[in-house]
């Protein structure tokens, strides 16, 4: 019985804990990076420096929303944020968006919200791997060699061929 509890705890940690920690770390890094850009170069610097990432992020949300059959109301892959310091109107700080609706009685569509929310983690990873494959094939091969045999760190041999 103790073994069962221990094994289930490890599985939960690997399935929920590690991805959660990874997502939390990315969120902290993202917020700090955006704050540094805005403080040093202005609010629109986020768009100028990160336009490709913003587009990939919104496309990731859009693709998963379509897969989970959500109703797409509007999409904007890239936009400049707007501050309204002169009046009381709300600031619009979004860099892009996918407005969608879903059937709250459909488990498939409700569960889809989780996947739509984390889609940029996988979309951006896929985009980076695609760029590696295109621009740095040796790095691409090394990444997959390391993932295939993490206990045998001979993946550096890919670079020496």
* Predicted local distance difference test score (pLDDT) of residue 144: 83
Q: Beta-carbon neighbour count of residue 121 at 10 Å?
A: 15
* Predicted local distance difference test score (pLDDT) of residue 122: 92
* Predicted local distance difference test score (pLDDT) of residue 145: 82
* Predicted local distance difference test score (pLDDT) of residue 27: 87
* Predicted local distance difference test score (pLDDT) of residue 98: 95
Residues of the chain scoring pLDDT < 50: none
* Predicted local distance difference test score (pLDDT) of residue 85: 61
What distances in angstroms separate CA 159 from CA 10, 28, 129, 146, 152, one per listed residue?
35, 33, 17, 12, 16
* Predicted local distance difference test score (pLDDT) of residue 64: 97
């Amino acid at each position: 019985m103790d073994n069962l509890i221990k094994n289930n705890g490890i599985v939960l940690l690997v399935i929920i804990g590690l991805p959660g920690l990874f997502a939390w770390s990315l969120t902290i890094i993202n917020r700090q990076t955006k704050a540094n850009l805005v403080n040093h170069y202005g609010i629109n610097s986020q768009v100028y420096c990160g336009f490709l990432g913003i587009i990939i992020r919104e496309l990731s949300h859009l693709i998963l929303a379509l897969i989970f059959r959500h109703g797409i109301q509007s999409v904007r892959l890239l936009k400049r944020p707007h501050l309204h310091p002169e009046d009381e109107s709300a600031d619009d700080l979004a860099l892009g968006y996918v407005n969608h609706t879903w059937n709250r009685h459909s488990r498939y569509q409700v569960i889809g919200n989780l996947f739509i929310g984390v889609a940029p983690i996988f979309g951006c990873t896929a985009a980076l791997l695609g760029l590696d494959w295109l621009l740095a094939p040796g790095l691409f091969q090394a990444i997959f060699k390391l993932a295939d045999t993490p206990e045998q760190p001979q993946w550096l041999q890919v670079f020496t061929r």
